[in-house]
Amino acid sequence: MKIDQTIDIEKEHRSMKIDQTIDCIGVFCPMPIIKTKLALDVMKSGEVLEILADDAGFEKDLPAWCSSSGEKFIEIKKEGSTIKGYVMKK
């Protein structure tokens, strides 16, 4: 499921614009990473993708995938059982 929105969040005293959010709640490995790649494929360079997931492996998978794909990993945040990942399109 795709959620289109643009919001600002505070990160280390600076604002980060989220250009797109994808919902991967209830989706398990490898689908959160596949959905992340598909979303980034249609985004513009410099845009930020927020990924919502609840698969525990996603917390380690996202930074590793960014490292191998060249996309810019920004951060992972946990809010209860939800993992929020942030990636900037290269």
Catalytic residues: 29
Distances (CA, A) of 75 to 45, 72: 18, 9
Rg (CA), the chain: 12
Distances (CA, A) of 30 to 12, 56, 83, 86: 30, 12, 15, 17
Q: Smallest Cα–Cα separation from 74: which of 42, 49, 44, 57?
A: 49
